C-alpha cells in the first residue's frame, strides 16, 4: 500500500550491467523487495517513480542493463529492503556497480527552516557485483576518481601516479583481508554509512534526466 505521511522521500539511482542470460522474470524477482515496498503487484506496476520527470526502473534487454532513477516514500525500514535487493542483484550482475541512495527529509523545508534546524537527509553508496573483486574494483575506481578530481586543482594529473599506486595498495590489502567476508556489498548498518556521508547541511540535489 502507498505510504502516506512517510518521513522520507527515498531516491535510488544507478546502473547495473546484468549477465546476458538474465530474463525479465529473474530481474522482477530480484527487485521484488523494491516494488513490494512501493505497494505494487509487479515490477511493471512499481517501476514508475513518484516524480514524472524521473525515468523510474528500466530494464534494457538489448544492452542487458538495469537503470534506476526512482523515488519512493518511505522510512528507515527501507534500509532492510536495500539489503535484500543488493544480495539479489549480486546473483545477476555481470560486473560491479555502485547504487546511490538518498533519504530526503520530507518534513524539512530549507526556505521555511527554523534557525538552527537540521534536516534528517542521509546519503549512502551501495555496491553490487558477481564477486568481491568486482565490487572492490568499483569502490577503487570511485575513490581514485574522487582523489584525482580534488588533487588536480593543485597538481598536474601526471604527478598523481604515486597516489593512485597507494590507493591500489590499500585495496589489495583490504581484498586479501575481506575476500571471504559475506558482508561485502551489503548496505552499512545505521545512518550515515556507505561510500559518502550526507547527514544534514546542504541538501544533495535529486538526479534528473
The pLDDT tens digits of the residues spanning 51-92 come to: 999 999 999 999 999 999 999 999 999 999 999 999 999 999
**Model pTM score:** 0.77
Would you call 12 exposed, middle or buried from its count of C-beta atoms within 10 A (0-12, 13-18, 19+)? buried
Checking if the pLDDT of 156 tops 70, the result is yes
pLDDT of residue 191: 42
**Angstrom distance (rounded) from CA 150 to CA 148:** 5
Q: Do 170 and 206 have their domain in common? A: no
pLDDT of residue 55: 96
Count of CA atoms in the C-beta half-sphere (13 A) of 187: 24
pLDDT of residue 158: 85
- How many residues in the chain? 209
Q: Do 160 and 203 have their domain in common? A: no
Q: Do 111 and 144 have their domain in common? A: no
Q: Do 71 and 172 have their domain in common? A: no
Residues 92/75, Cβ–Cβ less than 8 Å: no
The residue segments making up the domain with residue 89 are 1-129+185-209
pLDDT of residue 64: 97
Number of domains within the chain: 2
Amino acid at each position: 500500500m502507498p505510504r502516506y505521511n512517510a518521513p522520507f522521500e527515498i531516491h535510488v539511482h544507478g546502473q547495473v550491467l546484468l549477465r546476458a542470460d538474465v530474463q525479465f522474470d529473474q530481474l522482477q524477482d530480484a527487485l521484488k523487495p523494491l516494488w513490494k515496498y512501493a505497494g505494487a503487484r509487479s515490477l511493471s506496476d512499481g517501476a514508475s517513480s513518484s516524480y514524472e520527470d524521473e525515468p523510474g526502473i528500466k530494464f534494457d534487454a538489448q544492452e542487458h542493463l538495469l537503470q534506476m532513477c526512482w523515488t519512493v516514500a518511505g522510512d528507515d525500514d527501507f534500509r532492510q529492503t536495500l539489503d535484500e535487493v543488493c544480495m539479489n542483484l549480486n546473483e545477476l550482475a555481470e560486473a560491479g556497480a555502485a547504487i546511490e541512495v538518498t533519504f530526503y527529509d520530507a518534513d524539512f523545508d530549507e526556505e521555511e527552516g527554523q534557525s538552527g534546524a537540521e534536516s534528517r537527509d542521509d546519503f549512502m553508496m551501495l555496491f553490487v557485483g558477481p564477486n568481491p573483486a568486482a565490487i572492490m574494483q568499483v569502490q577503487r575506481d570511485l575513490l581514485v576518481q574522487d582523489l584525482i578530481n580534488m588533487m588536480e586543482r593543485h597538481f598536474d594529473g601526471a604527478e598523481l601516479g604515486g597516489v593512485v599506486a597507494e590507493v591500489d595498495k590499500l585495496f589489495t590489502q583490504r581484498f586479501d583481508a575481506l575476500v571471504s567476508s559475506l558482508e561485502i556489498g551489503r548496505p552499512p548498518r545505521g545512518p550515515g554509512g556507505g561510500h559518502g556521508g550526507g547527514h544534514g547541511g546542504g541538501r544533495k540535489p535529486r538526479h534528473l534526466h
